[in-house]
Amino acid sequence: MAKTKNLVITVGRQYGSGGRTLGKCIAQKLGLKYYDKELLVEAAKQAGINEEFFEKTDERSPSFFGGIFSFAQGLKPMAYYSGNSAISDDNIYKAQCDFIHSLAEQGPCVIVGRTADYVLRDYPMVVNLFLHAPMEHCVKRIMERENLTADKAQQKAERINKLRSRYYNFYTDKTWGAAPSYHMSIDTSTLSDDDIVGLVKDYITRRFGHDALPGA
């Protein structure tokens, strides 16, 4: 597969750190397309399964990863059905990977989650971000966004982070959240969204030059 010269920013994130919000902000400020859950819908279409079901199953869904965890432990993975057909988690993952490659070929973009940093590891113009924050900061954001108590918000953050970590560590040879797995690891509680966008933009221009940004 040809390696695109399009700029692609991938975003890994702790739950409650503001990863999706920042991903959208980065895309808007830098003139890039933005993708997150759309990947699921497109992967569902390519895999031939019910896209309505697949829209409801992402990195945050424990039931979706039951098969992955079982497979990692040497047990028979779960299968998911559309009509009379069945598809494994690995086939779903491959469909997502294929679509991530197609997004990178189509044009400059920001891709949130989906191990996109690993999928695009051989592409020359990829910037891999990991966004995190202290638990108390994440809890506060979750409470405000989802109207949960502090205990419920923390439990949810811990559960989803565990799922994301297992998903990432299973499908890649890297460690979710570990600094060596990314180009930039940013504590979102220490800077404003605009400051983080500026930091990312500065990194891109210093590494790739100003021409890397659309419209430059």
| Superfamily of domain 8-212, CATH level 4 | P-loop containing nucleotide triphosphate hydrolases (3.40.50.300)
8-13, strands of its sheet edge to edge: 33-35, 109-112, 8-13, 126-132, 184-187
* Mean pLDDT, residues 40-45 taken together: 65
Q: Does the pLDDT at position 149 exceed 70? A: yes
Least confident of 31-40, 84-93, 149-158, 187-196: 84-93
The answer to whether residue 68 scores a pLDDT higher than 60 is no
- Burial class of residue 66 (count of CB atoms within 10 Å of its CB; 0-12, 13-18, 19+): middle
- pLDDT band, residue 88 (cuts 50/70/90): low
Mean pLDDT of 28-42: 83
The more confidently predicted of residues 43 and 107 is 107
Q: What is the pLDDT of residue 50?
A: 58
DSSP 37: T
Given a cut of 90, whether residue 102 has pLDDT beyond it is: no
Q: CA-CA distance, 88 to 207, in Å (whole number)?
A: 39
Q: What is the mean pLDDT of residues 6-23?
A: 96
Angstrom distance (rounded) from CA 26 to CA 33? 10
Whole-number pLDDT of residue 81: 34
Res 23: pLDDT = 95
Q: Which residues of the chain form beta strands (DSSP E)?
A: 8-13, 33-35, 79-82, 85-88, 109-112, 126-132, 184-187
pLDDT score at 56: 46
pLDDT of residue 195: 97
Q: What is the mean pLDDT of residues 65-84?
A: 38
Q: Taking residues 132-139, what's their average pLDDT?
A: 97
Its sign, for the CA torsion 110, 116, 117, 120, is negative
Is residue 76's pLDDT more than 50? Answer: no
Mean pLDDT of 104-132: 94
pTM, rounded to two decimals: 0.81
Q: How far is 198 from 175, CA to CA, in rounded Å?
A: 27
